[in-house]
A and B are shown apart, each in its own frame.
Chain A
């Protein structure tokens, strides 16, 4: 049975008070709890996406020995709010010969595809909207809506830059989905389940209990996943769909105002989501080091642990962007099809053999004679 945030809260006494308060309308109570959590998570992630733009500018400034935004608020921290207000009040321009329906639909598809993944992202043991038993599969599937959004955005603008950017984006996203999914499959094999609760629960808090250091194949799978995820989110060095020097700004060239804001927000939140998935799959997720308890007060600690790992990876993503030069299209495709996909299939087979040969023990268990 799927564990949800409602069934998690129902373990505690104060929930009985709420149950009595609502009487017969139990489904209304569930709905309200889901609504509150959904608003909380979406609001939090939108803020993280906004702060992501700030972090991007600040870190790039740091790397290039500049100061970066420093006028709005303390240390320029409110810069993203100023940008948001600017985007909302800007004029909403649409190209004359654009395909109206698809032009309106594309940014919304991107945003929906990203926000729908937040439903299964494990922020903490109980702070997860619903622990679907097909959790990670659902996440990979629903995030492919972003590819459709990118493609339609490129097509509907009726501009050559957008068209090329959309085609590059869609082909890149569907190509890199293969190594990413196969790497995830290897981890699913180790965990014995696709739900995030199962996957995170079968790891421990300390580094030698993580799937990253479970066996050599999982170690390689992490890097395959990370490179593929960078490409799937159109981040540098794989940001060909929006390559400034060739395509102006790719599939969202013709978008202005808040529609452009939707694309940008979707991109930054997607980076957060793939970092969160990497943290949950490979880096032990929300497990507190050396402590295997699941109490309500500890949720905050678990949340902090998860966010620390995720934001560290987020920093690495931004760091990579300002360090490496952009690839060419043919290099991009040959990396995916000639290197990452065979490596990921090799990893999957290797993980399967490891599970059989060593009875599912990790390297640390074998060396130190664990359970």
Chain B
């Protein structure tokens, strides 16, 4: 079993004194769907960026057990964002954006309900739900072991939300990918996760006084 472990993470923005995360530890197993609930502006997104390697300036330790991370430059921890449109080069057609990550089989495209004609469209010609499907497929590179899903269905309608989560959960199970579901929506997290943690509980060294 592979495990993503973050130990005693601390973070503050460059030059500022105020800690956003302090002494925070969290772990994720590769067969686990874990929920993380937190208040808006409480550092959820920052934690996601640290876990997925987007933010290097933090204190503490981040490691993946029993897996040699040096064999490829591809990050085994992939982050899926709230706004899929920002993750696509606006001057690239969807096919090119997909290929940037891996060669996706027609099988998977069909499974995700992606029509062949969409591949020839520009990002601004697709809806938020359609774009989010693309960004999830991009993150599901065969090398991916963990997914950090940062409010990935917050901008989508309820019907699309169900479609995307059911797909993602079945794919993750098939491939033994661990998912951290980061959301403000308790109902959603309780519905899809095996285990739920609250950011306030694990980030206990920080007291908010808003």
Q: Do A and B bind each other?
A: no
Could you list which residues of chain B lie within 8 angstroms of chain A, going by C-beta atoms? none
Could you list which residues of chain A lie within 8 angstroms of chain B, going by C-beta atoms? none
